[in-house]
A and B are shown apart, each in its own frame.
Chain A
Amino acid sequence: MPNITFILPDENQLTVAASDGESLMQAAVDNGIEEITADCGGCCSCATCHCYIDDAWKDKLEPADEMETALLDSAIENKQANSRLSCQIFLTSDLDGLVVKIPESDW
């Protein structure tokens, strides 16, 4: 059960216990983080689950694939080097302590 800390747009923090195997998007949505709208339900079609991964963690994740990169490149106003689509990040105990910044919704 990895613990994940979300830093919300108003700078408030929320730490949640996520389940192994679920996506970071799912953990956010299930805990009421409404900036992550995840319209397509997690099939990498819509880019409405954009987040920033804390720099200390960004190299510990599987890199974004071609589809995710394409969506990030074309859809996100404030794309940074640590931008990811949270539906494509699957949580394991190795990610216990992950810190994620949630932007204001782009949509």
Chain B
Amino acid sequence: MSCIIIGASHAGVNAAINLRNLGYQGKITLISADKVLPYQRPPLSKAFLQNTLPEQRLWLRPEAFYQQKEIDLMLGKRVISIDREQQTVELDDGQCLTYDKLILATGASIRRLSIPGSDLIGVHYMRDCEDTMGLRDALPDAKNVVVVGGGYIGLEVAASLQKLGKNVTLLLNQERPLKHLTSAVVSDYLSELHKANGVNIQPNAAAQAIIGDEKVTAVEASNGECYPADIVVAGIGVNPEQALAQQCGLAIDNGIQVNQYMQSSDENIYAIGDCVSFFHPIYNQQMRIESVQNATDQAKTAALAICDKLTPYTATPWFWSDQYDAKLQIAGLSNGYDEFVVRKESENSLAVFYFSKQRLIAIDAINQPKSFMITRKYLHQLPAVDKNKLADNDQDLNTLFTELVGV
């Protein structure tokens, strides 16, 4: 009995740990293209970039852990092909390994800029540990930084670099940050927060060209302005890493297609995390989610299935982001909302509750952890909720939700 896991980030590592905890007796091989021990990604744009977290705190587990759990960790190896007939994977060093079950935890790969000047020295991205270390090494010589992209990575990198004393310009290709992910209330709060901290945030200013001879000197934007830059950091999204799956003929649909047990179109191959397109029964649709929660919870689902304890995946999605002293916590998915209500507990503490057809579907909480936690817990069990009560600071949400759910 053997299980090979391709990819050793949050999803892959947790799959291996869950298999052992469930009593899986076979050989477990965890293959990572990275040369360093498997690490957490969220700090890469935050504490690790700011140099306040040492490298070993980034590790998901210490090296000895893998030995203790008899997880065969292969670092710095890339799988180049999967043979489904023979149930083997071939590595870039020529090795061929046999599996009974295979888990694809290949994650996502960064989208790169394709505008003129994208290959100049000084253009950085943020996905791997090496990316952050490369950016950190370049910082001492840099004064002006242009961050391209108003998603989470762009915002977090802008906040981190501003904290480190750089002159930061943040270019958005839309009128507000996180436009596709949240309401204007949250976007506006974050815009103001970045402005107050000194970031030059430019809406409707898509990067059009990077200027420089060998090295970056400026970025031209669609608003006609040119912003000086010693460094450019682009956070413009990721694509699911599905090449191996495609090559061996697995079903693909914006990610490797899996059922509610994370099983692909081949019964012996599972896929989990950022690379997966799965059916979420609560939302009644096929989706792909890029988050730590999704990676760790799907790892559990796949491990349970491999250990013959089939449990469908129904987890409530949740996310977080830290920028300056603001903690943003999100539960549920707000896309498709038709109404929202704001609960403002203080100048710096607000929660936005999103509804679709009268049903509460998500919360974005800024510095309001209680509202986030209690909503995350009961979100999908709640009957209709009175919007006015959610907005009323005198209404304790714990009491409201537990009464509604009847616990």
> How many angstroms from the CA of A39 to the CA of B17 in the assembled complex?
14
Judge whether B374 is part of the interface by a CB distance below 8 angstroms.
yes
Stretch in A2-10, A24-32, A52-60, A94-102 touching the partner: A24-32
Majority-rule SS of B interface residues: helix
By a CB distance below 8 angstroms, the chain B residues around A46 are: 318, 320
Q: When each residue 22-42 of chain A gets 1 if its CB lies under 8 Å from chain B and 0 otherwise, what string results?
A: 100010011010100101110
> How many angstroms from the CA of A80 to the CA of B25 in the assembled complex?
38
Find out whether the CB atom of A70 lies under 8 angstroms from the CB atom of B369: yes
Which of B47, B320, B322, B327 lies at the interface centre, i.e. has the most chain A CB atoms within 10 A of its CB?
B320
By a CB distance below 8 angstroms, the chain A residues around B40 are: 41
Judge whether A74 is part of the interface by a CB distance below 8 angstroms.
yes
Majority-rule SS of A interface residues: loop
Known: A26-B57, A32-B69, A39-B292. A70 touches B62 (CB 8 A): no
Find out whether the CB atom of A41 lies under 8 angstroms from the CB atom of B65: no
Find out whether the CB atom of B369 lies under 8 angstroms from the CB atom of A71: yes
Judge whether A20 is part of the interface by a CB distance below 8 angstroms.
no
Judge whether A43 is part of the interface by a CB distance below 8 angstroms.
yes
Known: A46-B320, A74-B398. A39 touches B369 (CB 8 A): no
The number of residues on chain B lying at the interface, defined by a beta carbon within 8 Å of a beta carbon of chain A, is 29
Find out whether the CB atom of B373 lies under 8 angstroms from the CB atom of A47: yes
By a CB distance below 8 angstroms, the chain A residues around B154 are: none
Find out whether the CB atom of A45 lies under 8 angstroms from the CB atom of B329: yes
Q: When each residue 269-313 of chain B gets 1 if its CB lies under 8 Å from chain A and 0 otherwise, what string results?
A: 000000000000000000000001100100000000000000000
By a CB distance below 8 angstroms, the chain A residues around B398 are: 73-74
Find out whether the CB atom of B296 lies under 8 angstroms from the CB atom of A37: yes
By a CB distance below 8 angstroms, the chain A residues around B370 are: 70-71, 73-74
By a CB distance below 8 angstroms, the chain A residues around B373 are: 47, 70-71, 74-75
Q: Which B-chain residue is minimally distant from A22 (CB atoms)?
A: B57
Q: When each residue 73-97 of chain A gets 1 if its CB lies under 8 Å from chain B and 0 otherwise, what string results?
A: 1110000000000000000000000
Find out whether the CB atom of B374 lies under 8 angstroms from the CB atom of A74: yes
A: residues with CB less than 8 A from B are 22, 26, 29-30, 32, 34, 37, 39-41, 43-47, 67, 70-71, 73-75
Smallest CB-CB A-B distances: 6 pairs = A74-B373, A45-B320, A70-B369, A75-B373, A74-B370, A70-B370
B: residues with CB less than 8 A from A are 17, 21, 40, 42-43, 46-47, 57, 61-62, 65, 68-69, 292-293, 296, 318, 320, 322, 327, 329, 369-371, 373-374, 377, 397-398
